[in-house]
Amino acid sequence: MKEQNKDNKPQIKQLLSRLQKQELLIVNPRRKNGLIVYKKYHAEFIGPGAIVGGNFDMDAVNIIPVGNLSFVLPQNSPERRQAYKMRRQWVRLTKQIIDNPKSTERAQVILNQFEHWFDVETVANLPDEAFALLVGVLPQTIRKVRNTELL
């Protein structure tokens, strides 16, 4: 498992606290960024334009910023509604991957999707455990697929 930059730890703790207090934020829709939110038994990816916090994430136990993470505050009800729709879209994209019964294919698809959304370097710096929790596979499966790609 790769460690996050230690300089980010205070910011991550502060953001996690904000989520647990049910504060509502929107992942900046104008940037390639997002957040992997660890829950007790799984993780969720929250991408650009999606709402984070509120009742959705008060059970967050850890978070990993992806890309140059930035938030905007929802200004009104239509903005919140649109952000909820975006959150649902990100969940649906993940569900499409999870619906595949083959664990190695789920691992391959989530890695490919993140490389498409971000870049190879960003994906390489994210821990196997995060991807595993996103798509319901073991971290070893992610590692195996990553190592196969290098050959």
Q: What are 117-142's pLDDT values in tens digits?
A: 999 999 999 999 999 999 999 999 99
Question: What band does 6 get if pLDDT is binned at 50, 70 and 90?
Answer: very low
d(CA 87, CA 101) in angstroms, rounded, equals 24
Reported as a single tens digit per residue, the pLDDT across 87-116 is: 999 999 999 999 999 999 999 999 999 999
In this model, does residue 4 exceed pLDDT 50?
no
Contacts of residues 53-56 at CB distance under 8 Å and 24 or more positions apart, as own/partner, are: 53/18, 53/19, 53/22, 53/23, 53/24, 53/25, 54/22, 54/23, 54/24, 55/22, 56/87
Residue-range definition of the domain harbouring residue 47: 6-150
Residue 10 placed within a domain: yes
Q: Please provide the distance, in angstroms rounded to a whole number, between the alpha carbons at the two ends of the chain.
A: 20
At a CB cut-off of 8 Å and minimum separation 6, what does 13 contact?
none
Quote the pTM value.
0.89
Do residues 60 and 16 touch, judged by C-beta distance below 8 A? yes
Residue 51 placed within a domain: yes
Q: What is the mean pLDDT of the chain?
A: 91
d(CA 8, CA 43) in angstroms, rounded, equals 19
Q: Which two tokens stand for residue 42?
A: 């799984």
The maximal CA–CA distance of the chain, rounded, in angstroms, is: 50
Residue 137 placed within a domain: yes
Determine the average pLDDT of the residues in 20-31. Answer: 94
Residue 1 placed within a domain: no
